[in-house]
Copies of this chain bind each other. A is one copy, B any other.
Amino acid sequence: MVIVMKLDATAEDIGKVEEKLNEYGYQGHLIRGVERIVIGAVGDKNRELVMASLETLAKVEKVVPIVSPYKLVSQEVKKEKTRIDLGDGVVIGGEEIVVMAGPCAVENEQRLCETAEKVAAAGASILRGGAFKPRTSPYSFRGLEEEGLKLMARARARTGLKIVTEVVNPQDVSLVAEYADVLQVGARNMQNFSLLRELGKQERPVLLKRGLSATIEEWLMAAEYIFSEGNYNVILCERGIRTFEHYTRNTLDISAIPLANMHSHLPVIADPSHSSGERRIVPALSRAAIAAGADGLLVEVHPQPEQALCDGPQSLTPGEFNLLMKDLREIARVCGRSMVPAAI
């Protein structure tokens, strides 16, 4: 870190900074600039605490961090992309683009299985579907809970698709892990650290959605939480950030995809449905995400969007999804990637 002193800092003020640095086992290097003195501090213990402590000293203008706070998820630690192997040839972070599709919420067996069959036929490898639904209003449908998980498992048995579903409570982690192939952390829980730690203690891969107002650095720090407990299977999912624009529900931060690829070794996918909230632009965003280097997509598909108990306006019909998959296959190929062929 670099400590910038105020213009009127005296030798005594600087002495106090150096003393404090020594106290924490750091070494200070004084640089006299044209306008002011800065101190380069060398050390690596308790960085956050040391920075905060220095900031409170007299005549310290600011303390500037030099290294990023994440370690294990950083590309500096591991260059090659992490491959998350779900078995049966489904690998996230490999050469193949992996598409996860399905309804926002699991509603009933018939609809779920119908959707599962159709998205499988179009080339999806993973079925998405919410059994535990975090909802802004206490009066909205909150999901079928364990019954929903069972329906997901039945759809898997029938189609061979893997399944991904959200977990919202640390207490439910082991239950959801019994059923799901991938455990999803929703945007509103990205900094639910109790939940992250619980997910770090088990083995199922975790799909970590970026929070609505999380910086990319905070998103990687959330992944670091899971890593720090021992689970190294994390998939990043960009799902839009909150901005002032109101033609879309959120703003898909397309730059987050190449940036995550640049800073981290984790696979990164995009959710064009939640980021836009608008079915009509989901295909354009899906194509853009793959072109930007995403390793996969999470797309909402519902056989009758106008009957959906949740997020109908952003769901594609199976027919629309099938058309989109054809486009994506072309884009993937151009980008040097492949995709599962459609059965139809």
The answer to the question of A85 belonging to the interface, with a C-beta cut-off of 8 Å to chain B, is no
Q: Are A253 and B255 in contact (CB under 8 A)?
A: no
Residues on B with beta carbons closer than 8 Å to the beta carbon of A44:
34-35
Contact with B along A13-44 (1 / 0, CB 8 A): 00000001000000001011111101010111
Q: Using a CB-CB cutoff of 8 Å, which residues 222-254 of chain A contact chain B? A: 224-225, 228-229, 241-248, 251-254
Among B40, B189, B248, B287, contact of A2 (Cβ-Cβ < 8 Å):
B40
In this complex, which of A38, A218, A225, A306 has the most chain B Cβ atoms within 10 angstroms of its Cβ?
A306
- Nearest B residue to A2, CB-CB: B2
Residues on B with beta carbons closer than 8 Å to the beta carbon of A136:
69, 191, 218, 221
Closest approach, in angstroms, between the C-beta of A265 and any C-beta of chain B? 14
Contact with B along A180-214 (1 / 0, CB 8 A): 00000000110111100100000000000001110
A-side interface residues, number (CB < 8 Å): 109
The answer to the question of A137 belonging to the interface, with a C-beta cut-off of 8 Å to chain B, is yes
13 residue pairs bridging A and B, Cβ less than 8 Å apart: A33-B40, A38-B66, A52-B308, A52-B310, A53-B308, A136-B218, A215-B245, A216-B247, A252-B254, A255-B284, A262-B280, A262-B281, A327-B335
- The 6 nearest A-B residue pairs measured at CB: A213-B213, A291-B291, A258-B284, A288-B288, A287-B291, A169-B194
